[in-house]
Chains A and B, each alone.
Chain A
Amino acid sequence: MSRARIVNDLLRPLRDTTWRFYALVAVLAGIVALGAGTWVYQMSQGLGLAGIRWPVFWAFYVTNFVFWIGISHAGTLISAILRLVNAQWRRPVTRCAEVITVFALMIGALFPLIHLGRPWLFFYLIPYPSERGIWPNFRSPLVWDFFAIMTYLIGSTLFLFLPTIPDFALVRDTSTGWRRRLYGGLAIGWRGTPQQWHCLESAMQIMAIAIVPVAVSVHTIVSFDFSMTPVPMWHSTIFGPYFVTGAIFSGIAALIVAMAMLRRLLRLEEYLHRVHFENLGKLLLLMSLLWTYFIFAERLTVWYGNESSEMVVLRSTQHGEFAPLYWTMIGCNFIVPFTILSIRRLRTISGCVVASVAVLAGMWIERFLIIVPSLAHKYLPYSWGVYRPRPVEILITISTFAGMGLLYALFSKFVPIISIWELKAGESHAGAQG
């Protein structure tokens, strides 16, 4: 494929705007506005509008927090690993993935604020000297969350921004007027000298090496929010790797869905090929098997231990009030992806998308089932309770999905969603290989 064609195709979404784009943005912005309005209403009326009641104080909002932080593992982690192993097929995939990380982290980090009830006091979490004479307690996992998410968000934003600089310069050099000024600013003086390319490649190698352990630590620390607490089925050593596996699992699913939508909406069929979906589908299948292994190990240990308080939670999910959700989760996270992705004939783009949508639903349910059944069945029966989600929680949850879509749509409108220079370098590499 010629360089001129690559540039033309991948800059087309930045230059041409169709009515479909405006319609999509209007619909998504409408849903986000509805969610924002609901949040404001909840702030004005109090957190009692949500369904969270003693003893279930963590429910939809914390489920969403864990879910979105998990989704954020799609991008930077996968992109970093593919860069480190120099997988050539990564080139059209990396930026689509890295964007998911940044936006999912931003959305995920919003939920502790929503859950605060009085979000304007969020700065109490931040360590800085103040006249209040209080200080964050470094022995609290919630403070570890703050540091981990902050590090991952800053690192992921840099990991997304640095390799985008040459593409900003490309847009600058092929534009006029306000676009030239805007992208000139974003390109921060990039000229494309050999020394600049060398520095960028070195920096991306270091960033890729650094971001992988940070990504692993983030979801491990999110799991510590639970496993540091003596609540039945939470206080478990398996939670760290179990959460990280689930995060990568849901992240890959989100990436496949995002890539399929970009492929269709931005007409990128010649860049996002079946092989990209097939490779990610194989990774998804591997993560499905790993996730199943972890959930089996967790359930077996609890069942074999036969500790009464844990058995109550286990029974409530296996054949009690949460059983329908539990078996739906098993279907979505194991049966559907295993069936579709292990049969080569079914591992098509559509097949991968169906499996990924199932995994996303299944992983959201999994986060819910980790939180609510345990809190609803603490050690003594007097402290048992029930949780029913209320409309405000459901609306805010739906609006965050729309928010993700909106941010993604706007990003792909202003930034080449596939790295142009990396794709061109890939063409050179393929040419050199003959």
Chain B
Amino acid sequence: MNGIYALYADAISAEHAVEALHTAGVVDRDIVVMSSEPIDVATLRRERSTGLFWIAAAGGGVGGLVGLWLTTATARAWPLVTGGMPIVAWWPTLIVVFELTMLGGMLATATALIVTAKLLRRGSALNSPEIADARILVGVENPPDDMVGAMERALGAGCRRVIS
């Protein structure tokens, strides 16, 4: 695994480096940008729709259905007469359904975050403790040998090569 990267003190310089890499023929998906805080520059954010809201809604739906099954099917399986209430009483059922709907939504959100943000994956060749000091890393992982020169020029002075 190897990589080439440079560190920039501000988002504008990092944005210029990304644009230079584009000019050098590097496509967006091969460019790695890393920072210790969210970046507000549109070129660097490269936001794609995560679909998290829909995943959370689906998780909530599943949670709600589980709640509905738990309270209705099991109450019928173990019928207990309580205070003249029906075996499946809708008011209390709604409370359990609500709680499990919200729980399903929150668990789905957390799980979707792990998947869409590509967490729990092996570390990258590109990393630097200097990112902690608000530096922005721009680089390319596993660059083809014939493009290294062009990339070094695009990233400018201070460009580093990592081979691990």
Are the C-beta atoms of B133 and A3 separated by less than 8 Å?
Answer: yes
Are the C-beta atoms of B117 and A421 separated by less than 8 Å?
Answer: no
Contacts of A192 in B (CB 8 A): 34-36, 131
When chains A and B are docked, how far (Å) is the Cα of A192 from the Cα of B45? 11
Report B32 CB to chain A, min CB distance, Å. Answer: 7
- Mask: chain A, 123-143; 1 = CB below 8 Å from B; 0 = not: 000010000011101111001
Report A431 CB to chain B, min CB distance, Å. Answer: 10
Report B83 CB to chain A, min CB distance, Å. Answer: 7
Are the C-beta atoms of A191 and B127 separated by less than 8 Å?
Answer: yes
Residue B132 CB within 8 A of the other chain: yes
Residue A398 CB within 8 A of the other chain: no
- Mask: chain B, 115-144; 1 = CB below 8 Å from A; 0 = not: 011111111100111011110000000000
When chains A and B are docked, how far (Å) is the Cα of A150 from the Cα of B96? 11
When chains A and B are docked, how far (Å) is the Cα of A25 from the Cα of B72? 48
- Mask: chain B, 148-159; 1 = CB below 8 Å from A; 0 = not: 000000000000
Contacts of B32 in A (CB 8 A): 193
Are the C-beta atoms of A189 and B120 separated by less than 8 Å?
Answer: yes
Are the C-beta atoms of A213 and B35 separated by less than 8 Å?
Answer: no
Partner of A432, one of B40, B109, B120: B40
Interface residues of B in 69-125 (CB under 8 A from A): 70-71, 74-75, 77-78, 80, 82-83, 85, 89, 92-93, 95-96, 98-100, 102-103, 105-107, 109-110, 112-114, 116-124
When chains A and B are docked, how far (Å) is the Cα of A174 from the Cα of B112? 28
Partner of B106, one of A144, A210, A428: A210
Residue A434 CB within 8 A of the other chain: no
Are the C-beta atoms of A207 and B109 separated by less than 8 Å?
Answer: yes
Assuming the A-B contacts A127-B74, A139-B89, are A194 and B120 also in contact, with contact meaning beta carbons closer than 8 angstroms in the complex?
no
Report A106 CB to chain B, min CB distance, Å. Answer: 17
When chains A and B are docked, how far (Å) is the Cα of A202 from the Cα of B35? 17
Residue A53 CB within 8 A of the other chain: no
Interface residues of A in 229-288 (CB under 8 A from B): none
Residue A24 CB within 8 A of the other chain: no
Partner of A134, one of B47, B78, B131: B78
Assuming the A-B contacts A138-B96, A148-B99, are A188 and B120 also in contact, with contact meaning beta carbons closer than 8 angstroms in the complex?
yes
When chains A and B are docked, how far (Å) is the Cα of A88 from the Cα of B106? 25
Report A149 CB to chain B, min CB distance, Å. Answer: 9
Residue B7 CB within 8 A of the other chain: no
Contacts of B4 in A (CB 8 A): none
Contacts of B120 in A (CB 8 A): 188-189
Report A232 CB to chain B, min CB distance, Å. Answer: 19
Residue A196 CB within 8 A of the other chain: yes
Residue A108 CB within 8 A of the other chain: no
Q: Which chain A residue lies CB-closest to B45?
A: A194
On B, residues with C-beta under 8 Å from A are 32-40, 44-48, 50, 52-53, 56, 70-71, 74-75, 77-78, 80, 82-83, 85, 89, 92-93, 95-96, 98-100, 102-103, 105-107, 109-110, 112-114, 116-124, 127-129, 131-134
Rank and list the top 6 A-B pairs by shortest CB-CB distance, nearest first.
Answer: A3-B134, A135-B78, A199-B117, A147-B99, A203-B113, A196-B117
A-B contact pairs, 22 of them (CB 8 A): A137-B82, A139-B83, A139-B89, A144-B92, A144-B95, A147-B95, A147-B99, A150-B103, A151-B106, A174-B129, A189-B121, A193-B33, A194-B46, A197-B39, A199-B50, A202-B52, A210-B105, A210-B106, A213-B102, A421-B38, A424-B36, A424-B37
